[in-house]
Structure 1
Amino acid sequence: MESLDKVITIKGYAIRKGSLDEKQIKYLKDTLTVTPAVKQKYMKKEELDALRFYVYKESPTRYYVPRSWGITTYGPAEANLVPEGLPLSTEAAIFGGKPYPYQEDIIQKFMDAGMNGLICVPCGKGKTFMALSIAAKIGRRFLVVVDKEFLMNQWKGEIQSLFPNLRIGILQAGRHELEPELYDCTLCMIQTLCSQTFPSTTFQNYGFTIFDECHHLGAAHFSRALVKIQTKYMLGLSATPKRDDGLTKVFEWFLGEPVYWEKTREPDPEVLVRPVMLECSHPDYLKLPMDWRGEVVTARLLTQIVQCKERNEIVAKLLRELCENEHRRVLVLSERIGHLNEFERLLEGSGLSISYYIGGMKEEVREEGAKTARILLASYAMASEAMNIKTLNTVVLASPRKKVEQSTGRILRIRASERQVPPLIVDLVDVHNIYKNQYRQRLIYYRKCKYTIEGKKQETSAEIRVPTEDGCLLADD
């Protein structure tokens, strides 16, 4: 290794310092020193400095840079010293699934790309299944990195279903189940990876790593996982890889760019979008909280909105009306748990079964309630990643949200031929300009998906108005 200028190692793409001139070294350091995109106008220098982080390391003789970035910048390495990982036994490698034709095409694209990169498809397309199918093809001990315990349990269930003889270990807190004689794969909690110190040889017996919801890896803290785990083959999964803070590049530098990216769903005009323009007269709802710079304090505005009694009563009325159809199973999403609690209170005496899907619940309680509830009260945080409840067919966006690709995808988990009712998105639009602009962004997404946007005039109360697709306001009930 010492005589080679460019080598791929378990620490990353290693390039000898003596092979770079001063200009190249400056470029390396400048490029791989990253800062999230923020409003810098009023930030102090020390505040900006605190956001900055580095995605390269160095030794006395070498720089260690993200693998994909190194190959793109300096060309193929002269040697790849990353271990292949131990092979799965014949019994452990038995895979009981068969991909759909479209999944086979995506899997093959990943295999043809050197078995490194991202697969980005909408919810319900089978990211987990495809990743495990790839693991079976590679045939080496593998890791799965997740950021939530309920995701870890979902992965464990899928693996047990598809690999009946695979031995599954856990890496979480003080539990380090990594021994090759005992475990064929290990499910890793990213918080444990990032907060604990591991010897550099810890993961050398693994040949493949799956990073679930890989868009999280762009954050300074979570990006540490990419430095600690460098297996021969690596796959990132995400329905929404693009980060608003500009740090998508961080995990792409390590894992590679998308080998397949389906940016919008296949056209599905059967999906209905019902935009509901809310008008509440209470002063606390209407006023804009401003900071000393004259900018809207969005967190405080959201609090005002979700605490508006008039608004919440309107939404509760909508929920009752939706459930008049016995086939409707309604997912209600909000940023605030207290907001969900208020809906439960307002629906007392309705006779409707109501459950929660929020963090902090025992998983068995949460999942059991989700199976039977007519109305499921959930946080956006839980609905944004890997919620898999096939009975849901209606979603109410009860608090404002700019991006809803993953959240709305939760009601599209079954094939169109199996639907009892058309999927329905009830999109609540508040009067404030900031939220009207967010609605316009959502509308762009709905149109790309060819969803049917309702706008037919109905007899209504004066409290709610429904904008047609072209923005014309009509009365609604």
Structure 2
Amino acid sequence: MRMSVWDKPRVIGCAENYPQHIALPRGCLDAALSLLRENGIACDLRDERVRGQPLDVSFVGSLRPDQEAAIAAMLPFDAGVLCAPTAFGKTVTAAAMIARRGVNTLVMVHRTELLKQWQERLQAFLGVGKGMVGTIGGGKAKPSGRIDIAVMQSLSRQGEVNPLVEDYGHVIVDECHHVGAVSFDAILKRTKAKYVLGLTATPIRRDGQHPIIFMQCGPIRHTAASPAGAPHDLEVVPRACRARIDLPQDAGIQDVFRHLANDQARTEAIAAEVSDAFAQGRKVLVLTERTEHLDAIDAALGGLEPSPFVLHGRMSRKQRAALVADLDALPPDAPRVLLATGKLVGEGFDHPPLDTLVLAMPVSWKGTLQQYAGRLHREHASKTDVRIIDFVDTGHPALLRMWDKRQRGYRAMGYRISSEDLK
């Protein structure tokens, strides 16, 4: 197909060699047993996994039929990945799985902000108090030994994995595509749980390491569709930026992005689109990858009242939490504008009223595009449609190639692209 395979590993191996045996990741069990059967080789299977301590909790929430179907598909297997889109309700589904497995559980997340989110929801859906759901992360370690939520980075320090991970009978990995990272892979290798559940909306990694997800968490057992209540009127509105980009031949893509961020006319065009959407009563999310670009867009929106919310990596955790609380306190139908960097809201950020995304800086990888668009796909009573306003830069061939990739990504998610002549 002549597609580039640069920087993609040809072979990905997670096996470990020992003097008398070879160790394979848990997710390879089905394939290994199948290979033995095909070659007429008998297998003596000795199960030394940790079954965990009994956990007496009941699920007190309610599940949609598609969530019940997902649980029914996952329960027969000890390990596996549930692939479900944003807004499916992976947390409530996981809570029901915890109750049905009935053993002590460790939930692993990759960001501190998700720690409290999971704690609050598990307490609500399982009808238990704070003493039952412990946390490890954010500089504190208060595990309960029954249901615990841990930030992955807090479980591994300088290559040493906390032995506490060996004590659970059930491990749930939120956003399990992060398991491809070396430090997170090491944590999964150390766990001995009988049951492992991976949760993700994007079971792919840009670095090509996604097979590790399935080696450590098991294969995809169920792929869920978008829930019936999620918005189904999905539209992309391209806006052409035709300015010529004159840069040296050897300029890298970051130089191109810097040029876009410093283009005042382009920034003002973005601000005009945001202002129009706000005037229409929409709830707008503006995403870029550069903090200085956020500042420029914020300045160009100087006359907007109320002022936009601005979320970026220079803010402390406490400042970010206060901003999100203020955002959530707005009346559901009130228009709003949130300016943010993609790294902060690409995953785990949950604000259901959002119905409009302004893509202020181009991306190309479909996983990033799915994460960004997923911020709009949460169910909300006032939401009937979602809209992505995509600024398409025609003045550089690399940016046009990125637009081609985004178009394929949008169509794969079910978006229709409004026609605009970009040539």
The alignment's TM-score, normalised by the length of structure 1, stands at 0.76
Q: Is the 8 A contact 2:168 2:192 kept in 1?
A: no
Deviations 1:75-97 (A, max 9, x none): 566111112100113xxx02211
3-state SS in 1 of match to 2:167:
coil
Q: In 1, distance between residues paired with 2:246 and 2:18?
A: 56
3-state SS in 2 of match to 1:405:
helix
Aligned to 2:312: 358
Aligned to 1:163: 126
| 1:238 and 2:200 aligned | yes
Deviation at 1:215, TM superposition (A): 0.7
3-state SS in 1 of match to 2:184:
coil
Deviation at 1:70, TM superposition (A): 4.3
Deviation at 1:38, TM superposition (A): 4.1
Deviation at 1:383, TM superposition (A): 2.3
Equivalent of 2:417 in 447, 453, 461: 453
Deviation at 1:221, TM superposition (A): 2.8
Q: In 2, distance between residues paired with 1:351 and 1:194?
A: 45
Q: In 2, distance between residues paired with 1:265 and 1:408?
A: 15
Gaps of 5+ in 2: 37-42
| 1:103 and 2:86 aligned | no
Structure-2 change in CA distance of 1:98 and 1:268 (3 Å): closer
| 1:332 and 2:296 aligned | no
Q: What is the percent sequence identity of the aligned residues?
A: 27
Q: Is the 8 A contact 2:231 2:386 kept in 1?
A: no
Deviation at 1:154, TM superposition (A): 1.1
Aligned to 1:409: 374
Q: In 2, distance between residues paired with 1:307 and 1:77?
A: 65
Q: Is the 8 A contact 2:283 2:355 kept in 1?
A: yes
Q: In 2, distance between residues paired with 1:290 and 1:175?
A: 50
Q: In 2, distance between residues paired with 1:449 and 1:230?
A: 37
Q: In 1, distance between residues paired with 2:390 and 2:277?
A: 13
Q: In 2, distance between residues paired with 1:78 and 1:299?
A: 53
Q: In 1, distance between residues paired with 2:173 and 2:150?
A: 10
Aligned to 2:401: 437
Greater Cα offset, 130-139 or 157-166: 157-166
User: Residues 265-414 of structure 1: matches in 2 within 5 Å?
Assistant: 270-281=233-244, 286-291=245-250, 297-325=252-280, 327-359=281-313, 360-361=315-316, 362=318, 363-371=320-328, 372=330, 374-402=336-364, 403=366, 404-414=369-379
Q: Is the 8 A contact 1:177 1:183 kept in 2?
A: no
Code of the residue aligned with 2:353 in structure 1: it is: T
Equivalent of 1:69 in 28, 32, 46: 28
Give the total of aligned pairs: 395
Deviations 1:382-420 (A, max 9, x none): 2221211011111100100123112112112115xx345
Aligned to 1:20: none
Q: In 1, distance between residues paired with 2:137 and 2:232?
A: 43
Deviation at 1:190, TM superposition (A): 0.9
Q: In 2, distance between residues paired with 1:106 and 1:129?
A: 12
Q: Is the 8 A contact 1:289 1:297 kept in 2?
A: no
Q: In 1, distance between residues paired with 2:227 and 2:202?
A: 12
Deviation at 1:52, TM superposition (A): 10
Which structure is larger by alpha-carbon Rg, 1 or 2? 1
Code of the residue aligned with 2:199 in structure 1: it is: L
| 1:177 and 2:149 aligned | no
Deviations 1:126-148 (A, max 9, x none): 11111111111101110111111
Code of the residue aligned with 2:22 in structure 1: it is: Y
Equivalent of 1:115 in 66, 78, 93: 78
User: Residues 5-154 of structure 1: matches in 2 within 5 Å?
Assistant: 38-39=6-7, 55-73=14-32, 75=36, 78-89=45-56, 93-112=57-76, 114-154=77-117
Q: Is the 8 A contact 1:206 1:231 kept in 2?
A: yes
Q: In 1, distance between residues paired with 2:217 and 2:85?
A: 20
Structure-2 change in CA distance of 1:269 and 1:257 (3 Å): same
Equivalent of 1:225 in 176, 187, 207: 187
Deviations 1:153-182 (A, max 9, x none): 21112112112225122223764434xxx4
Deviation at 1:358, TM superposition (A): 3.1
CA RMSD, Structure 1 to Structure 2 (Å): 2.7
Q: In 2, distance between residues paired with 1:442 and 1:261?
A: 23
Code of the residue aligned with 2:51 in structure 1: it is: E
Q: In 2, distance between residues paired with 1:438 and 1:265?
A: 29
Deviations 1:81-116 (A, max 9, x none): 112100113xxx02211110011111110012x131
Q: In 2, distance between residues paired with 1:289 and 1:205?
A: 57
The alignment's TM-score, normalised by the length of structure 2, stands at 0.85
